[in-house]
Structure 1
Amino acid sequence: MPPNFFPAYSVFLMIMLIPVPRVVCEDNQQIVSCGAQFKCGNMVISYPFWGGSRPHYCGHPGFELTCDGEAPEFTMKEASYRILDINNSSHTLTVARADYWDSYCPPTYVNTTLNESLFSYNATDTEVNLYYDCPDDSQTQTAPSNQFNCTNIIGYYTTLDLNLGVSTESCGVYVTVPIFQSAATALVSGGGTLTLLTEALKGGFGLEWNASNSLCTECVQSGGQCGYTSNQFTCYCRNGNSSSTCRNTRSSSGSNVKKKIIIVGSVLMVLSIMVGCFTIIKCLLPVKTLVFWKKESEDDQNVEEFIRRYGSLAPKRYNYSDIKKMTKSLAYKLGHGGFGSVYKGELSDGRLVAVKVLSELKGNGEEFLNEVASISRTSHVNIVRLIGFCYDGAKRALIYEFMPKGSLDKFISDTDLQLEWKTMYQIAVGIGRGLEYLHRGCHTRILHFDIKPHNILLDEDFCPKIADFGLAKLCQRKESMVSLAHARGTAGYIAPEVFCRNFGGVSHKSDVYSYGMLVLEMLGGRKNRGAACTSDTYFPDWIYKHLEHGEDLILGRVVNQEDEETVRKMILVSLWCIQTNPRDRPSINKVVEMLEGSLQSLEIPPKPFLFSPTKSPQESSTTSLSAP
């Protein structure tokens, strides 16, 4: 037995025997106060909310409300929110930004940021971006319908589906406000008028709260009232307080004393048995087994912490037996990579899925949970949807929606599967929109760091979806640069600054570089790790030489003038994306704007100084873009 056990044993005994203070009077004032109704407007306030006539011990500390007579409000992280509706059965709210209730011109510019340990966003909602202090272009062009004026300050607003071709890069500040998807749809169908914008902001968005919801339900069902004291949930009962339910309380003080004695004795006995058992196990088991035991416990804690943090937003967790069942014991393999293999599966409801079973485990599962966390935050037509995951001991897998056309790489490298330029152009625009959503459309900016054809999946209509978020990094939108402990990505697509900081800081422009190399690969029909047009000519070099001499760019499958303009536009945009200095590259929203704009508005970009790698006749055709 450890030498320090008995002193700890004695301290524990003393702590257990100290009387637990309780504020219990004849009428139990807590249950009376917390049971009284507190009305604000047409809403009745109950746990976890408090304020007004409800004392602080009747609600969770993070849910204090104020009432101005019309609707309750709460403040969190510098922004105030007006509650429009409360649904206690589903633990959901409909809220609207109080500073945007009557106007899209607030006194201060504050982004919507909630405490994610208390609230989670509605996964089906979207958002509107409001830009302020923008340049006035009214003298050179007609003002678009999404332009507004705030006391001589020009502003614009955009959504994921409504841009109207306005450049917002020169604006001084922008604010993101969530709105219902139905309101965003009405904005698009109604032409994006300011009246519809006001209605969308007034309509608010959905939230789900997490404040010991299940404990409160159990407490109310047992006849108690929910509250919060001593930094934990408390159930106020008529004959005393409880940590969960009134069924655990007793009316007589004698029974409470007996119960305490029994509990203390039982705990001491269990502790003695546990110490004895652990000592025996420690002697019998090898050190390696104990280390594995500890690691498994830490891994389980990581998963439980992840599920607790993301609450209802966390994807469904499956056991490995479920994986074997849905894939018919891994019968049909769709593909294989360094991470493991992908198998075709079917859920119990008949939906087809792609199951990525990981074979190489790294660290304590942080990279795996990073991919789950990253993609769980997304909801976009050009982002692959994660249905669930498996974290069962050493068995780990990701369950995605099934993409019948597979990955983009086979439609580039296989001449028998090559697509028309119109389809390739639509795929390039779709990938750009997906990246634009990751960089600007999510509540938290997501940098992918591994954009390449293998990670672009295609549905039955060749709609592209970005996949594989294993190397992604989450960051706040206001962060212009991010820090990386080491380079990440795939050779041929990694931006120069990712592996050498002398080229500049790592940012969302690093994804833009990878996107440009991907589009060049789509154009050249070759992988960017090697030569493209001839055995000794690097494809971007070949393009620049033709552009500099004013020669035509004749690529395969160009059959008409429309194809030629499409190809030339894709070439110019991709060459802007792969500029060596990150500051010379456009942002991804500008890239999409350039792709969808006219060819005449595009200029030929300067030639990056990394071009071109020299090769001897003995060298193979796998010269890297970053080679000296």
Structure 2
Amino acid sequence: MPLFSPIVRCAAVPAIRDSVVGRVGEIYAVLLEAESFQFNTSYITTNQLMQINGDGMVPVVLDWAIGNETCEVAKRNQSSYVCVSAHSDCVDSSNGPGYLCNCSEGYQGNPYVSNGCQDINECDLQPNPCSDGICQNLPGNYNCHCPEGTHGDAYDGTCIPERSQKLPLTVKVAIGACSGVIILLLCLMCLYIVYQRRKLEEMKRKYFKQYGGHELEERMKLGRSLNKFKIFGSKELEKATNHFDDKNIIGRGGNGVVYKGVLENQDVVAIKKPKIINEDLKKQFGTETLILSDVNHVNIVKLLGCCLEMEMPLLVYEFVQNGTLFHLIHENENRATIFLDTRLRIAYESADALDYLHSKVSPQIIHGDVKSSNILLDVDNIAKISDFGASKLIPKGEEQFATLLQFTHGYVDPECLVTYELTHKSDVYSFGVVLLELFTGKKAINFEESEEQRSLVSTFTMLENQNRVSEIFDNQVKLEANIEFIQELTRLIKQCLKLKGEDRPTMREVAEELNGLRTLNQHPFVVQHNAEEMESLISGLPNDNHDFNTTFDIESRLTGRSNNQHWL
């Protein structure tokens, strides 16, 4: 049995009335609560019996505990541990060593005997702990909930009646039917979306095969991919252009629409969507674009790849950020002066690029849509020919006539309208119109002018026949150019605009002429003359070709120098 210390507390017993509890040689002792005792000196000198309170009753407290160990230590020895009842708790003594046992919260009884702590049924207590709610007794606890038809906090007695009424059966049936229909529609919608996605993927595979995607992949595996040509996915380009948002359109033409796109790696590209694809070349489209990607010239926009998963395949080019030659000539917001040297350099670079397409690539490429808006300019105003693969991607034969009508008016080779055929000389004619634009500052077609002056070519021809051709050139050109330059430039433009293609020069000859004009412009040794004198000199030229000797003769008469004195 455990050792009990005699310190039981708070037990009230009758006090000793009119008697001495203990007496040893005039020494008295009384057992009572210390706070209830008040010492009096008379207790020492007399044998007077103590009167402890008026009613003779005082509390007696015995403070006790079990053993001299803490709960933690006592629990280790189950043979001597006395808190044996289930739902009992051990508590360390607050006044000295030892411990006590109490029943757990929600239980009452004797914790020192087995099953001595029994559950308290709180629902039987008064007052009811759930107030107006329904009380449910739980082991060591209780639960309160509101009666049926009410809601609220049953613990605080705030249950209030439900205001809503039960729905009629017909309403419940209608709600159930509507819910079923909605669920059915959602299921059908999901099935439709899945079907459409599968259909879209099937269409992508169809287009990819139709445009020769598999053949393109095979050729790229054989080493043709060294030019970094890439086959783009439709989703990648849709994301790059924000689903081909009209806000990203940077150009429109007879062959298609061009969008600005930003790829996932933040590279900026130009994405062209053609309008017409030659049915006979559909199967070779992928390999044709791979051939075009081999074009490598500093003045030609680089073709980076294509997308074959859409109804109209897409071409992806490098992005040239400074606009077009058309913009520089006609929409120059800052009205910056375009010096003659700049115009000559742009003209030469463009001609050299077209000559590269005509004669230095295999197979040879006819541009087919030469115009100022297809000549791009980088930040340094370096020319870059774009849309150089147009003729490979448009129909041939009679269908080409309809295609040509979609090109920008004023640039189309008149011979093409008769023969329905694009040739190398078609590019020469269109480039002659570009030269007119570049050195006159006027548009190829201007609907604001009178009918006879609406076409730039017609105006040039008319003024040339009237010996007034200098009137058409830009003031900056006339300010910087000398007589010989104007003569040679006029002759070159006339040659490019010949009605018969066989009478026109090749692009190589045009590039060489322009290079000669650049050299001539870099050696300003010719005396400038007023417009009337220059016009009279130009009017003296024959209508057809003439050579530099004629120019030198005129120069010699004006300067008083012989031909062999012309160059320093």
In the superposition, the TM-score normalised over structure 2's length comes to 0.47
- In our comparison, the structure showing a higher alpha carbon Rg is 2
Hey, which of these two has a bigger chunk of strand by percent?
A: 1
In the superposition, the TM-score normalised over structure 1's length comes to 0.43
